[in-house]
Structure 1
Amino acid sequence: MSTIRWTEARTTRSARWHSESATPPPRRVVVADDRMKADTAYRLACEGTALLWRGDFPNARQLLHAMGRRIDRNRSHTGGGPAESFHLHRRARAHRARILGRLLVALDDDHSLALRRAPDVRQACTEAYGPPREPRVVSLRELLGVIGAREWRRKGVEVPALGARIHPHYGVFSPVRGEYVDLVAQAALPASARRGTGPRTAFDVGTGTGVLAAVLARRGIGHIVATDISPRALACARENVRRLSLDARVDVVGPALFPEGRADLVVCNPPWIPARPTSALEQGVYDPDSAMLHGFLHGLASHLEPGGEGWLILSDLAERLGLRTRRELLTVIEATGLRVVSRIETRPRHPRVRDSADPLHAARAAEVTSLWRLGRV
């Protein structure tokens, strides 16, 4: 971690800088409190100056919202085709995150927040950042995300296909879009080529919270191996598997894309959009150059038992945004020694489908999520 410095009460002070989005430490930091006007804060942030907040915590949140309104007022609405609209939308979101990320707060060496009327954030920060070691400075925007993640983890997300709740950790994609879970819960299981029975073993590649591994276990598959490249996801999946009393049938291993060996069924729900994530939180949504998708397809045939199937769960949103074509997907499938056995589809049910103010509304409204059943040629 880097160190940032600022002057306070005529004394030069310093602390460790922490950013989950790998934002560089600000070069200039000034102290701000309840007397600072939103216009001044916005102007300083746009000029690259970070504001270390020393006032009331609710007032800091109000200031953040006021700065956000000023960003939205000045946002350009110019756009062309779907791909251009997507890139403009991403650029606007990155600009917004950059400006709002310049309102900072200081955490003490026990992760406490020494501001008036501040909540107790120690547990939330420990879950996100690990055990406290020394004072650090983070953006208020990031801290609010950490606090929100703590609530998601505590309350969990109801998954009807499981009849239970899944508890996502900070930085792990939450199963709030249930249509992809329902596809795995409802698709007919492949018959084993050797015995004419259902699959005995399955791999869940890129398990995240472990929700799909749990669904497969509840469907009666005897042994599931779940993998992920993220240590946070591995810890999250292990905790959820234990909560559901499925740890005797589900092994969570990694970090890795594929486990060793072969399985009758290999399931993967990769990030759907081929674009670069700007933070750890976006890695469940954005897959640069479709790297995970291609990695899964290139490794699938060698990890399937004879007669086994690979299930690829993928939205066509990238196709509707002009970021990937269906022909490109089918070409990779063919080039990796695979064939399409069949495909089942569903429509998303999340609120953004109906949000006409969303710049990507047309693509989202037409989006289809598919479970591709793949076999070896």
Structure 2
Amino acid sequence: MPMPARIEWTDSDTNHPVFSARWHSESGAAAPRRVVVADDTTKAATAHRLACEGTALLWRGDFHGARHLLAAMARRVDRKPPPPGRTPADAFHQHRRARGHRARVLGMLLVLLDGEYGLVGECDPVGGRGLALRRAPDVRAACRAAYGPPGGPTAVSLRELLGVVGAHEWRVKGVPVPALDGARIHPHYGVFSPVRGEYVDLVARAPLPVAAGRDAPRPRTAFDIGTGTGVLAAVLARRGLDRVVATDINPRALACARENAQLLGLQGLVEVAAPGLFPAGGRAALVVCNPPWLPARPTSAVEQGVYDPGGAMLSAFLGGLAARLVPGGEGWLVLSDLAERLQLRSREALLGEIATAGLRVVDRLDTVPRHPRAADAADPLHAARAAEVTSLWRLAPDSF
């Protein structure tokens, strides 16, 4: 097993001029090769310049001062927006490159966690603890939930840590889901939150196939492929399916779906399978999949719910669907047409994949987005987002 990456820095104000700590990045960013100490005297212009050059800044001042510095660095990055794209696809790729640059620069402001995930201003190389950052919040519960058991002093990006803390707040508070009569889904860190409720509403109102109807022979089984938080599995269970098998390739998602099924009292109806796309065996009256909508490479754990490199998950779902359905069963593909509007995928290509998989379109239910970004005229992808349509494609094998 390879040794964990580490960072090193010097501090002439202590009796231990050379320090080191483990490096952790949820986005897979490499450990910075050069690290300098920053505090409340560090100017935003200096921090921005060093970060652009690849030098990380390890914070030792007031915690709120670190947040202010991060915001000031962000303003400097945002002063140079990406050039307008010649085509929607070009605009999308320019936007992604700009967001990647922004993430790299802002990810260079680091904080240090001690051996119990407490925020510290300096590291004791022997005991793994140190002097706490001034006005630092208690992030231990959030870090344990996201990172697992602590493993000694660890350096992380402040930007990532703020995301971890925010995700933990959402996990504790939960997200109300109208399709579940206002019951809450509790997303884990790294699992896409069901904040866009329109796609959930489609699954809640689409007519069940004959094989899954109330007069169908029992047991009536459904598969929820790529379950994420388990929200669609919960909706299907609430609609009267006798058994819903939830799958995902992400172990965090499986743990999240399992916890939400228990919180909703559905553990007897929702079965969370081992990691994988489809369950190990069996067929179902209904197979539902809400794959990532954009065929592009994710740059962080949470982006895996949005970006599907090369449309691999979409293709795998369509290719394996027919063999997983009982006679009279249907597959429900929940997909936005944003990729089409950005010229990342054509409608003809989607229909071609459906036909090649031996499937036919029974019906399609459409809805429009209700999220704030659809009305944000400053968004470089505003035209595509404003026109976006999310659809539930009802699919059945040609042979049925």
TM-score, scaled relative to structure 2: 0.93
What is the aligned partner in structure 2 of residue 67 from structure 1? 73
Q: Is the aligned partner of 1:265 residue 2:277?
A: no
Q: Deviations over 1:315-358 (max 9, x none)?
A: 00000000000010111111111111111100010001110000
Q: Is the aligned partner of 1:188 residue 2:207?
A: yes
Contact 2:82 2:95 in 1 (8 A): no
Distance in 1 (alpha carbons) for counterparts of 2:361 and 2:186: 34
Partner secondary structure for residue 179 of structure 2: coil
Partner secondary structure for residue 211 of structure 2: coil
Selected match of 1:241 from 258, 261, 267: 261
Distance in 1 (alpha carbons) for counterparts of 2:144 and 2:262: 21
The Cα shift of 1:43 comes to 0.7
What are the ranges of 5 or more consecutive residues in structure 2 without an aligned counterpart?
121-132
The Cα shift of 1:79 comes to 2.0
The Cα shift of 1:133 comes to 2.0
Partner secondary structure for residue 78 of structure 1: coil
Contact 2:212 2:221 in 1 (8 A): no
Q: Deviations over 1:7-27 (max 9, x none)?
A: 112611111100000000001
What is the aligned partner in structure 2 of residue 341 from structure 1? 362
The CA RMSD measured in Å over matched residues stands at 1.3
Partner secondary structure for residue 161 of structure 1: helix
Q: Deviations over 1:154-182 (max 9, x none)?
A: 10000000020000000000000000000
Contact 1:193 1:306 in 2 (8 A): no
What is the aligned partner in structure 1 of residue 94 from structure 2? 88
What is the aligned partner in structure 2 of residue 158 from structure 1? 176
What is the aligned partner in structure 2 of residue 350 from structure 1? 371
Change (3 A) 1:189 1:34: same
What is the aligned partner in structure 2 of residue 2 from structure 1? 5
Selected match of 2:389 from 363, 368, 375: 368
Distance in 2 (alpha carbons) for counterparts of 1:188 and 1:198: 17
Distance in 2 (alpha carbons) for counterparts of 1:3 and 1:138: 11
What is the aligned partner in structure 2 of residue 117 from structure 1? 135
Partner secondary structure for residue 209 of structure 2: coil
Change (3 A) 1:194 1:33: closer
Partner secondary structure for residue 119 of structure 1: coil
What is the aligned partner in structure 1 of residue 325 from structure 2? 304
What is the aligned partner in structure 2 of residue 175 from structure 1? 194
Aligned residues: 377
What is the aligned partner in structure 1 of residue 46 from structure 2? 40
Distance in 2 (alpha carbons) for counterparts of 1:306 and 1:270: 24
**What percentage of aligned pairs have identical amino acids?**
70
Which amino acid in structure 2 is aligned with residue 5 of structure 1?
A: E
Contact 2:212 2:286 in 1 (8 A): no
Q: Deviations over 1:246-281 (max 9, x none)?
A: 000110012010002100000000000000000111
Equivalences for 1:205-224 in 2 at 5 Å? Answer: 205-224=225-244
The Cα shift of 1:196 comes to 5.3
The Cα shift of 1:78 comes to 3.0
Partner secondary structure for residue 24 of structure 1: coil
Which amino acid in structure 2 is aligned with residue 2 of structure 1?
A: A
Contact 2:37 2:59 in 1 (8 A): yes
Partner secondary structure for residue 308 of structure 1: strand
Distance in 1 (alpha carbons) for counterparts of 2:210 and 2:372: 37
The Cα shift of 1:307 comes to 1.1
Which amino acid in structure 2 is aligned with residue 93 of structure 1?
A: R
Contact 2:212 2:241 in 1 (8 A): no
Comparing 237-246 with 195-204, greater Cα deviation is found at 195-204
Distance in 1 (alpha carbons) for counterparts of 2:224 and 2:212: 20
Selected match of 2:351 from 314, 319, 330: 330
Partner secondary structure for residue 42 of structure 1: helix
Which amino acid in structure 1 is aligned with residue 396 of structure 2?
A: G
Which amino acid in structure 2 is aligned with residue 290 of structure 1?
A: G
After TM superposition, which residue ranges in structure 1, 4 or more long, deviate above 3 angstroms? Answer: 193-196
What are the ranges of 5 or more consecutive residues in structure 1 without an aligned counterpart?
none
Comparing 184-193 with 80-89, greater Cα deviation is found at 184-193
Which amino acid in structure 1 is aligned with residue 229 of structure 2?
A: T
Partner secondary structure for residue 373 of structure 1: strand
TM-score, scaled relative to structure 1: 0.98
What is the aligned partner in structure 1 of residue 126 from structure 2? none
Which amino acid in structure 1 is aligned with residue 118 of structure 2?
A: S
Contact 2:199 2:390 in 1 (8 A): yes
What is the aligned partner in structure 2 of residue 18 from structure 1? 24
Distance in 2 (alpha carbons) for counterparts of 1:196 and 1:272: 34
The Cα shift of 1:198 comes to 8.0
What is the aligned partner in structure 1 of residue 130 from structure 2? none
Q: Is the aligned partner of 1:313 residue 2:316?
A: no
What is the aligned partner in structure 2 of residue 132 from structure 1? 150
